[in-house]
Structure 1
Amino acid sequence: MPAFLVYPTDILLPMFSRPLSRSLLCVMLSTLALPTLADTVWLKNGDRLTGKISVLDGGKLLIETEYGGSIPVKWSQVATLESNQQLLVKEDDVTGEVAKSLQAAGDGMVTLSNGGAPRTVPLKSITQIIHPKPIIQDLTWKGNVDMALDYKRAETDTDDYDISFKTSARHGLWRHNGSGGYNREYRDGVTATDNWDAEYALDRFLDEHWFWQGRLEYKRDKIEDVRRQRTIGTGPGYQFWDNELGAFSLASLANRSDYEFASGNTEEFYSLAMKWNYNRYLVGKTFEIFSNGEIGKPLENVADYQLDAEMGLRYKVTDWASLNMKAEKDIVSGAESDLDETRYSIGFGVGW
C-alpha cells in the first residue's frame, strides 16, 4: 500500500500551494509565540523584573506580575526601567510630566518620551509615578465601605445593622480625608442602639512627612446619655509612610468640643488629642490589618478623657471585595454622663 504524507496545511489551506501554506503557518506560529508586551525593571544587582508598573510612591515601586502578584521594589535599588504605558512622572510634590513611554537609559537614569524631544532624567529626582487621571492628573483616591448585618432569633430577637466608610484623596500637597458610620440595633422590636457619625479632615503637607490638619466631626446618638458631640480641631501631623503596602500617620490636635446630654444640659470645652491612622497589607495584599482613632484630654474638668477607636482585619476575596472583622470602642469618662460602648462586627466590604 503506498504511503501518503498529509500536511495540515493541505487540509486548512487547500487553495494555496504547499510552500506558501507552510510559510503562512510559520508566520502564524511565530506571531503566537511572541511574548506579551510588558514593563521591565532592571535592578542594580543585575536582576530583571517584568510585569506592569502600578505606582511609585513612598520610595517603593510596585510591579504587578502574573508569577508573583504585587511585588514592591525599593526605588533606590532600581538601575533603570522601561514602559509603554502613559504615566505621570513627578519630580516634586506639585508638578509632573505625562510621559507616553519610559525608555531605559544608563545606570540610574530613565528617558521620558512624550511626543516631543525625549528627556533623560536621574531616577533619584523622581518622587512619584502614577497613572494620570482625566481631570486632576495626580489624584490618588483610595477607600473602603464595610457592611455588617446580624440577625438572631432566640429568647431575645436581635437585628443589628452596621455600615461604615473611610476614604482619602490626595493631589499635590493636599489630602482630603472622610469617614463615617451608622449603627442601629433592635431587640424584640425595640430600638436599643441608634447612632451615626461623620468626619472630614484636610491635610496640607509641608514636606514629605510633616503636614498640618484641620478637621470637623459630628456624632449623633438617640439612645445614650451623650446625645450630640461636635468637634473642630487643628494641629500638626507626621506621615511615617503612605504607599501601596499601607500607611501610618499621627496628628496632635487642639480641639473645641460641644457635648449635649439627654438631660438637655450642654458642655463646651477645649482639649488636646492624639489621632492615629494605620493600615498594613500582608501576604501579597491578601490580608489587611488596620487601626484608627483618637484619644483626648479636656483642658477643663468636664471629663477625665475621651477615646474613639477601632481596629480590625480584612481578608480580600477579590480585587475589590473583602470580608472584615473589627472592634470599636467609644468612651467618655468623668463627664456628667459617662459613655462606654463597645461594638464587634463581622461583615462584607468593598475597597478601591
Structure 2
Amino acid sequence: MLHLLKAVYGKQGASRKGALILAFTTALCADQVVLKNGDRVTGSIVKKDAKEITIKTDKFGLVTTAWDEVASIIADKPLTVVLPDKTVSGTLREENGRVQIATGTGTVTVAPADITALRDADEQKAFQRLDHPGWLQLWAGTATIGFAGTAGNARTSTFTTAVTAARATRTDKTSIYFNTIRASAFVNGQNSDTAEAVRGGVGYSRNIRPRVFLNVFNDYEYDRFQNLDLRAVFGGGIGFHAIKTDRMMLDLLGGADYNYSKFSTFTRNNAELYWGDDFTYKLKGSTSIVQSYRMFNDLNSLGDYRVNFDIGMTTKIAKWLNWNVSFSDRYLTNPAPGRKTNDLLYTTGLGVNFAH
C-alpha cells in the first residue's frame, strides 16, 4: 500500500499520503450499510429498532433509514443482536443474503428478517437500565420558584412554587406534581391576603398493549378564596397512545373517579366520569410544551361538571437551569355561594432540572 502511494504521489506527497492512509484506515474500521439503491452509509451503527436502522456518521450526524431498504451490512464493532429466540453479541457480516454474527464462541448465521433489534454499547446500557430499574432510579423533573413584589404606596408580594417529576420505563410511568401560590398586599395600613392555593397529585399508568394503557390517579386541592378546604379525587381508567414519537406525545384517556370536596360550609361526595388528554411537544432548540385537559362530569347531579386545564412551557437556559411559564385553570359549574366559577393560577420563574 505504501509503495503504491509513493508511486502515485512521490516524495512531495507525504501529507496527501498520510491523509489517504487515515481515510483508508477509517473506512476499514467503520461500520457500513449499503442500501438497495446503491447508496452507502459509513459510520457507527447505533441501533435497529422496529422497522428502522440508525447510523451515526461523521458529516451528517444520525442517519435513519428503513431496515427493508438495506442490501448489506458490516459492523466491525460488537453489537447486541436480538433474535426471536435469544440475544447475542458480536460483529456482523452479510453474505449471500445471510447475516453472520461472529460471537466470542462461534458464528451465528441468520436471515436479516430474523434480527429484531440491534444496539451499540450505549444503547444496550440504556436498554438494561430501563429493563429492571430500582424504584429510586429514572426519576426526572424540574423544581421552580417564583417571587414578585412592589414597595412604595402599596407593598405586595407573590410567592409561587412548582414541582413536576416522572419516572418512565418501557412499560409504566409514575408522575407527581405540586404547585402553590401565596400573595398578599399592604395598602393604606391594611394587610390582606389576595391569593392562597395549593394543588398536587400523583398518577400511575401501565401499558397493557403497545398503544393501550391503564391508569390511576389521586389529586388534592386547597383554595382559600374558593372556600375550598380540601378536594380529594381518586380515579382510574383506560388510555390510548394516539401519537408517540421522539418529539411529540398525545395520550387520550377516560374513566371514573370519586370526588370528595369539603367547602367551608358544606361537603360534596360525587361519583364522576372523566375524559381528556395529555400532550407533550418538543420545539426545535431547548423549548418544550406540556398540556393536560380533564373534563369531570358529575353523576350525582347531571349537568354539573368541572374542568382542569394545565399548560406550561419550559426553556433550557443551561444543562441544569430552565425558565418556566405555566397556566393552571380550574372551572366549577356549582362553586360555593358567592364565589366565581373559574380560578386561574399562572406562574413564571427559574427552575432547576434534576434526574437520577
Give the TM-score normalised by structure 1: 0.70
CA contact (8 A) 2:275 2:295 kept: yes
| Cα shift readout 1:105-127 (whole Å, capped 9, x = no counterpart) | 36998666664455446457636
Cα distance in 2 for residues equivalent to 1:81 and 1:220: 61
CA contact (8 A) 1:211 1:238 kept: yes
Paired letter, 1:322: N
Paired letter, 2:116: I
Cα distance in 1 for residues equivalent to 2:314 and 2:58: 23
What corresponds to 2:8 in structure 1? none
What corresponds to 1:105 in structure 2? 94
Q: Per the alignment, do residues 149 and 206 of structure 1 end up closer, same or farther by CA in structure 2, a change over 3 Å counting? A: same
CA contact (8 A) 1:148 1:347 kept: yes
What secondary structure, in the 3-state scheme, does the structure 2 residue paired with 1:132 have? Answer: helix
What corresponds to 1:164 in structure 2? 163
Paired letter, 1:259: S
Structure 2 gap ranges (5+):
1-16, 187-191
What corresponds to 1:229 in structure 2? 231
User: 1:297 Cα shift?
Assistant: 1.4
CA contact (8 A) 2:162 2:178 kept: yes
User: 1:340 Cα shift?
Assistant: 2.0
What corresponds to 1:281 in structure 2? 282
What secondary structure, in the 3-state scheme, does the structure 2 residue paired with 1:301 have? Answer: coil
User: 1:162 Cα shift?
Assistant: 1.8
What corresponds to 1:350 in structure 2? 353
User: 1:195 Cα shift?
Assistant: 0.7
What corresponds to 1:20 in structure 2? none
Q: Per the alignment, do residues 77 and 248 of structure 1 end up closer, same or farther by CA in structure 2, a change over 3 Å counting? A: farther
Q: Per the alignment, do residues 295 and 138 of structure 1 end up closer, same or farther by CA in structure 2, a change over 3 Å counting? A: same
Q: Per the alignment, do residues 208 and 219 of structure 1 end up closer, same or farther by CA in structure 2, a change over 3 Å counting? A: same
What corresponds to 1:12 in structure 2? none
Structure with the bigger percentage of helix: 2
What corresponds to 1:330 in structure 2? 330
Structure 1 gap ranges (5+):
1-25
2:254 equivalent to 1:240: no
CA contact (8 A) 2:50 2:116 kept: no
Cα distance in 1 for residues equivalent to 2:98 and 2:286: 33
Q: Per the alignment, do residues 158 and 297 of structure 1 end up closer, same or farther by CA in structure 2, a change over 3 Å counting? A: same
- Counting aligned pairs with the same residue, the percent is 14
Q: Per the alignment, do residues 194 and 136 of structure 1 end up closer, same or farther by CA in structure 2, a change over 3 Å counting? A: same
| Cα shift readout 1:241-296 (whole Å, capped 9, x = no counterpart) | 33432322111111122111122x2211121212322212232x533222123222
- RMSD over aligned CA atoms reads 4.2
Find 2:178's aligned residue among 173, 178, 181.
181
What corresponds to 2:220 in structure 1? 218
Q: Per the alignment, do residues 52 and 126 of structure 1 end up closer, same or farther by CA in structure 2, a change over 3 Å counting? A: closer
Cα distance in 2 for residues equivalent to 1:308 and 1:301: 19
CA contact (8 A) 1:288 1:314 kept: yes
Cα distance in 1 for residues equivalent to 2:221 and 2:30: 49
CA contact (8 A) 2:148 2:157 kept: yes
CA contact (8 A) 1:108 1:124 kept: no
Q: Per the alignment, do residues 270 and 253 of structure 1 end up closer, same or farther by CA in structure 2, a change over 3 Å counting? A: same
Q: Per the alignment, do residues 145 and 63 of structure 1 end up closer, same or farther by CA in structure 2, a change over 3 Å counting? A: farther
User: 1:143 Cα shift?
Assistant: 3.6
CA contact (8 A) 2:226 2:335 kept: no
| Cα shift readout 1:149-189 (whole Å, capped 9, x = no counterpart) | 12222433223222221314224xx3022121121323248
2:243 equivalent to 1:249: no
Q: Per the alignment, do residues 316 and 254 of structure 1 end up closer, same or farther by CA in structure 2, a change over 3 Å counting? A: same
What corresponds to 2:142 in structure 1? 145
Paired letter, 2:239: G
Cα distance in 2 for residues equivalent to 1:89 and 1:128: 6
